[in-house]
């Protein structure tokens, strides 16, 4: 495979854009969570719980299921990585459309990645943008949530892509955006010019404003173009020994009406609110903590709460709760 590292400050055309989301206040206390119970690996469900909250307001709870590891030595390394496999059952030049919103763990090694209006081929995951596609439904691939807060928030997204233009003289542009998930933080966007010679090339795109709950997507800019992702997609950062890195593999959100009472008493005599968490995205072994442990990861869940502020517009948000692990009874 012809490889070519293209560091964007040298070769790629970059259109930096920082967009500040409005209406979030990080002023709610973090939830006091307890160990998961009724864990069913086959059904991919469990019950999460936290110290009970008042019922005087409408409240949303989001439970994130994630994998973490502690860095054993310093240096530049991956905080998130997946290897794309494609679909070997397809013909050489065949593209298979996926569902409009589709998790793509069947075509890569990682969990929690999904595509909007994506396709798959023998060589990898495919973004193909037709002229007739609505502007808001431009194909994209999106990462799980991950921690990119180390090294002052500086991180690099690396990927391999093969680009085909609709016409010989057309440039193919790929927009890469990252933002803080459900926190209203700044978003950073860069636009990369892809090489359109029908060969795979490696790209590296630098960002400066990572947080502890990042998410990014890669989206087509051109109509009529085709981009095939192959090899690895990874996020690299400069890390120190002892840093905790993590990413999500599933999440569940539940909205609780005003006055709804879900309070129970746990085995320790503490009044708790509970929530059934469903992790089924089609991926296997999401809740198999032993399998994750064998691969160097520890399975946990964490949660945040959100309520609408008094002005009816602003959303108040809590920090993540402390992680609760599946390998501790």
We report the CATH number of the domain holding residue 155 as 2.60.120.260
Percent of the chain exceeding pLDDT 90 equals 65
Mean pLDDT computed over every residue of the chain:
87
Interval 233-275: pLDDT, tens: 999 999 999 999 999 999 899 988 888 887 889 889 999 999 9
Domain end, chosen from 187, 214, 239, is at 239
133 vs 229 pLDDT, higher one? 229
Looking up residue 47, the CATH number of its domain turns out to be 2.60.40
Indicate the pLDDT class of residue 328, thresholds 50, 70 and 90: confident
> Is residue 282 predicted with pLDDT exceeding 90?
no
Instruction: Give the residue-averaged pLDDT of 289-299.
Output: 95
Question: What pLDDT sits at residue 184?
Answer: 54
Question: What pLDDT sits at residue 159?
Answer: 98
Window from 22-36, 54-68, 75-89, 213-227 with minimum mean pLDDT: 22-36
| Residue 113 falls inside a structural domain | yes
**66 & 79 share domain:** no
The total of structural domains in the chain comes to 2
**184 & 286 share domain:** no
Q: Which residues contact 193 (CB under 8 A, 6 or more apart)?
A: 12, 13, 171, 172, 173
129 vs 191 pLDDT, higher one? 191
Question: What pLDDT sits at residue 8?
Answer: 36
Coil, strand, or helix at residue 216?
Answer: strand
| Residue 214 falls inside a structural domain | yes
290-322 burial: b if 16+ Cβ within 10 Å, else e? eebeeeebbbbbbbbbbbeeeeeebbbbbbbbe
Contacts 24+ apart (CB under 8 A), 305-311: 305/28, 305/31, 305/53, 305/59, 305/60, 305/61, 306/28, 306/59, 306/60, 306/61, 306/62, 306/182, 307/28, 307/57, 307/58, 307/59, 307/60, 308/57, 308/58, 309/25
Interval 118-136: pLDDT, tens: 999 999 999 997 654 555 5
> Is residue 168 predicted with pLDDT exceeding 60?
yes
Indicate the pLDDT class of residue 19, thresholds 50, 70 and 90: very low
Question: What pLDDT sits at residue 187?
Answer: 75
> Is residue 174 predicted with pLDDT exceeding 90?
yes
Question: What pLDDT sits at residue 263?
Answer: 86
> Is residue 323 predicted with pLDDT exceeding 70?
yes
| Residue 1 falls inside a structural domain | no
Instruction: Give the residue-averaged pLDDT of 186-212.
Output: 92
Domain encompassing residue 230:
6-22+75-239
CA triple 36-39-44, angle to 5 deg: 120
Instruction: Give the residue-averaged pLDDT of 292-311.
Output: 91
| Residue 170 falls inside a structural domain | yes
Interval 36-81: pLDDT, tens: 999 999 999 999 999 999 888 888 999 999 999 999 999 999 999 9
| Residue 117 falls inside a structural domain | yes
**52 & 113 share domain:** no
239 vs 221 pLDDT, higher one? 239
Any idea which residue has 């840093």 for tokens?
243
């Amino acid at each position: 495979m012809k490889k070519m590292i293209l560091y964007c400050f040298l070769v790629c055309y970059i259109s930096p854009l920082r967009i500040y989301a409005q209406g979030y206040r990080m002023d709610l206390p973090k939830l006091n969570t307890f160990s998961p119970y009724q864990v069913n690996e086959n059904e991919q469900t469990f019950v999460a719980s936290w110290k009970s909250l008042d019922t005087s307001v409408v409240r949303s709870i989001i439970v994130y299921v994630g994998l973490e590891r502690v860095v054993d030595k310093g240096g530049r390394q991956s905080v998130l990585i997946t290897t794309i496999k494609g679909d070997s059952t397809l013909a050489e030049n065949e593209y298979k459309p996926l569902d409009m919103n589709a998790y793509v763990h069947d075509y890569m090694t990682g969990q929690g990645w999904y595509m909007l209006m994506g396709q798959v081929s023998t060589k990898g995951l495919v973004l193909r943008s037709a002229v007739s596609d609505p502007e808001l439904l431009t194909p994209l691939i999106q990462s799980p949530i991950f921690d990119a807060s180390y090294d002052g928030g500086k991180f690099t997204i690396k990927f391999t892509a093969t680009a085909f233009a609709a016409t010989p003289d057309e440039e193919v542009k790929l927009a890469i955006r990252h933002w803080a998930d459900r926190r209203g933080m700044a978003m950073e966007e860069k636009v990369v010019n892809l090489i359109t010679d029908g060969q795979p090339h490696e790209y590296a795109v630098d960002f400066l404003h990572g947080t502890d709950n990042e998410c990014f997507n890669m989206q087509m800019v051109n109509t009529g173009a085709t981009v095939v992702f192959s090899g690895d997609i990874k996020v690299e950062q400069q890390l120190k020994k002892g840093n905790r890195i993590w990413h999500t593999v599933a999440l569940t959100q539940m909205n609780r009406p005003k006055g709804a009472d879900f309070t129970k008493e746990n085995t320790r005599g503490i009044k708790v609110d509970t929530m059934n968490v469903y992790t089924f995205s089609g991926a296997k072994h999401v809740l198999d903590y032993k399998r994750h442990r064998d691969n160097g990861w520890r399975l946990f869940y964490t949660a945040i709460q959100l309520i609408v502020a008094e002005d009816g517009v602003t959303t108040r948000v809590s920090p993540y709760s402390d992680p609760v692990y599946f390998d501790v009874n």
